[in-house]
Amino acid sequence: MKKFDGFFFLLRTKYTFFIKIKKINKTMLRTDIINFMIEKNDYKSYLEIGVRNYYDNCDKIKCVLKHAVDPSPQNKCDFIMTSDEFFSTLNENTKYDIIFIDGLHLSYQVDKDIVNSLLHLSENGTIILHDCLPSREEHQHEKPTIGEWTGDVWKSILKIKIERPDLEIKIVDTDWGCGILKRGSQEVYQTDINPYNWIWYKDNFRNVLPILTTDEFIEEYK
């Protein structure tokens, strides 16, 4: 009976893992993506830029060390200051394994947050960016609108695809677009026209940006 018990235990374990993956995949949001990357890479340190409500996301992140930054948090926050101020206080040797950028959703600030995050990212670290895929023009206006607002984070994503062959950017098509940024290499997009406008974006983004389904994300990074 011990052999059979072992067999059924293994079967249950594989079945439970399969169901877990299917459940995550079906409802995968930014929190799930971050925790997935933490588990798969055994990350120990996490930084969240733009925490706002700590209990929406940061509280659910499963990491040994967690730091939250926001100039106007609704509740719990480790560093009540702007991301620029926070990074200016960091020792150059301070590194995080995974950094989530979800602060001011305007490309000029996202660009700075990306540059600063790369300076404080561990060698095999990952940056996650939220709100990369607006579905309507009004969602990406510079001024927040009633309802959903992504800002123009997509411009920062496109800039990486055009200017940074030393990085690898991919976007998971869920939860308004979750960018996965790592050091590595990529084929940059070359164009003679100005692509940083909504008309170009809506017509071309799916052909230019490396967009993954949640299934493809799991397969890519498992």
29-221 topology per CATH:
Rossmann fold (3.40.50)
Q: SS3 for 151?
A: coil
Q: Give 167-199 pLDDT, tens digit per residue.
A: 999 999 998 899 999 999 999 999 888 999 989
Task: Identify the CA nearest to 151 among candidates 138, 141, 136, 163.
Answer: 141
What is the C-alpha separation between 93 and 217, in angstroms, rounded? 31
E-strand ranges in the chain read 45-49, 65-69, 96-101, 121-129, 167-172, 178-183, 211-212
Please name the residue ranges forming H helices in 124-213: 153-163, 198-208
pLDDT band, very low/low/confident/very high, at 144 (cuts 50, 70, 90): low
**pLDDT of 45 higher than 50:** yes
**pLDDT of 8 higher than 50:** no
pLDDT band, very low/low/confident/very high, at 19 (cuts 50, 70, 90): very low
Q: Which of 39-53, 84-98, 134-148 has the least mean pLDDT?
A: 134-148
